Amino acid sequence: MSGIRTDARTLELIGFALVAALILVVLPLALDIFRLNLVGKYLTYSFVAVGLVLCWGHTGILSLGQGVFFGLGGYCMAAFLKLEASSAANTKIQSTPGIPDFMDWNQITELPFFWVPFKSLSFSLLAVVVVPTIAAFILGAAMFKRRVGGVYFAIITQALAAVLTILIIGQQGYTGGINGITDLRTLLGWDIRPDSAKYILYFVCCFLLLGTMFLARFVIASKLGRILVAIRDQEERVRFSGYDVANFKIFVFCLASAIAALGGAMFTLQVGFMSPSFVGIVPSIEMVIFCAVGGRHSLVGAVIGALAVNWGKTLFSESFPELWLFAMGGLFIGVVLAFPRGLAGLVTDQIVPRLTRFGASRLGSSNSRHTEPSPAPAE
């Protein structure tokens, strides 16, 4: 039907295939398990970036608090793993055996009521998605129904990230405080620490990410996706087309948060702990930078952006640890000034048209007046 859309979709599918090949084949073959595990950690940020493509890139809702949802997902997962690691046998030296160690250090003698359901894996997995979604729903409903948007929304999400961090640190008997929830060992008796488990978790993370990308792509390609773009362009007009704008914003914000939470849960599983340093303002803003560098309109761009920036961070901070923050700031300014559509924008706006022109000119010599650009670059 529509030409420009078909072209963009073809390009996107090529991108999906490249990402899948990169993370499923190239990286596992090229890297040792230590590095691959790091890549797995970076990929958990890609989840957040995919969510940001939906709510920021497509709908224009900038959330500077995605760390909250990443963290909530991660903490829900960590709660289950921690309870399993705190069996009575493992904790018999504590004054109250059978509860997590940090509770015992804080003179708590009984498992708090909200920790009890996390003994069940199915509850915990459900909570990974549902708890952040409910939080996003409450925040979204409160803001969007009152038509709070733009910068104000960004500031409020940032405040939320600060609030949650302070809450976690302040209530250390219930949350593990600033250290977070550490010393996670097994998932239903399956040890998550050895290399073999790390490989398995890495691939689970990859498939989950690819699934998430397809889900996001389905949403973007639906009429709802076009309504989101319309809201970004002309929110008022969308109301006068008879849509309840707030409901659509709430939906996409909840979806973005649920996706971020999946990333958080995979983070906990692969890295082996969860702490408030992945919840607060700085990580939340970093997540936005990953998305901006990759390209906030592109799912593939966002995933690659998260990978590339984190890879750069690791390499850079191994050699010049004190310079990394400056490099990161410079990178963000550079992206905003020089290529506002990110890496993906560079590819679709610069490289693909050139390839297409190159392909067309070669075709043109044999096939006289065929000027229509071919949708997929001749590869």
**CB contact set of 79 (below 8 Å; sequence gap of 6+):** 115, 118, 124, 181
223 lies in the site for other proteins, by CB under 8 A: yes
Provide the 10 A C-beta neighbour count for residue 313. 18
Q: Is 194 in the site for other proteins (CB under 8 A)?
A: no
**What is the closest distance, in whole angstroms, from the C-beta atom of residue 87 to other proteins in the complex?**
44
Binding to other proteins by residue 222, rule CB under 8 A? yes
Asked if residues 281 and 155 have their Cβ atoms less than 8 Å apart, the reply is no
Q: Which residues face 187 on adjacent strands?
A: 190
**Residue 230 found at the interface with other proteins (CB under 8 A):** yes
- Contact of 294 with 343, CB cutoff 8 Å: yes
Residue 63 identity (one-letter amino acid):
S
Question: To the nearest whole angstrom, how small is the minimum distance from the Cβ of residue 347 to other proteins?
Answer: 19
Query: Of how many residues is the chain composed?
Result: 379
Q: Report how far residue 171's alpha carbon sits from residue 218's, in angstroms, rounded to the nearest whole number.
A: 40
- Considering only 121-129, 244-252, 281-289, 303-311, which stretch makes contact with other proteins by CB under 8 A? 244-252
Residue 295 and residue 344 in contact, taking contact as beta carbons nearer than 8 Å: yes
Q: Is 233 in the site for other proteins (CB under 8 A)?
A: yes
- Which is nearer to other proteins, 36 or 245 (by Cβ)? 245
Does 237 help bind other proteins (rule: CB under 8 A)? yes
Interface with other proteins: number of residues (CB under 8 A): 29
29 near other proteins, rule: CB under 8 A: no
Task: Please state the closest distance from residue 293 (CB atom) to other proteins, in A.
Answer: 22
Q: Choose which of 251, 253, 267, 290 interacts with other proteins (CB under 8 A).
A: 251
CB 81 within 8 A of CB 268: yes
190, exposed or middle or buried, with CB in 10 Å at 0-12, 13-18, 19+? exposed
The minimum distance between CB 250 and other proteins, in angstroms, equals 9
Is residue 4 a contact point for other proteins (CB under 8 A)?
yes
Q: Which of 121, 234, 320, 334 binds other proteins (CB under 8 A)?
A: 234
CB hemisphere CA count around 70 (13 angstroms):
35
Helix (H/G/I), strand (E/B), else coil: 207: helix
Contact 111, 119 (CB under 8 A): no
The least CB distance from residue 58 to other proteins, in Å, is 10
Task: Report if residue 322 touches other proteins, rule: CB under 8 A.
Answer: no
Should residue 241 be labelled a site residue for other proteins when binding is judged by CB under 8 A? yes
Among 16, 199, 243, 339, binds other proteins (CB under 8 A): 243
Question: For other proteins, which is the closer residue by CB, 81 or 238?
Answer: 238
Residue 263 near residue 46 (C-beta atoms within 8 A): yes
How far apart, in whole angstroms, are the C-alpha atoms of residue 292 and residue 301?
A: 9
Q: Kindly tell me which of 234 and 350 has the beta carbon lying closer to other proteins.
A: 234
Work out whether 354 is an interface residue with other proteins (CB under 8 A): no
- 9 forms part of the interface with other proteins (CB under 8 A): no
Q: What is the DSSP letter of 373?
A: P
Choices 34-42, 173-181, 218-226, 278-286; region in contact with other proteins by CB under 8 A: 218-226
Q: Is 353 in the site for other proteins (CB under 8 A)?
A: no
CA 343 distance to own-chain centroid = 17
DSSP string covering 46-61: HHHHHHHIIIIIIT--
Give the chain's largest Cα–Cα span: 86
> Which of the ranges 31-39, 42-50, 219-227, 266-274 carries the binding residues for other proteins, by CB under 8 A?
219-227
Using CB under 8 A as the binding rule, whether residue 244 contacts other proteins is answered as yes
Question: Residue 56 interacts with other proteins (CB under 8 A)?
Answer: no
Residues forming contacts to other proteins in the complex (CB under 8 A) are 1-5, 219, 222-224, 226-227, 229-230, 232-234, 236-245, 247-248, 251
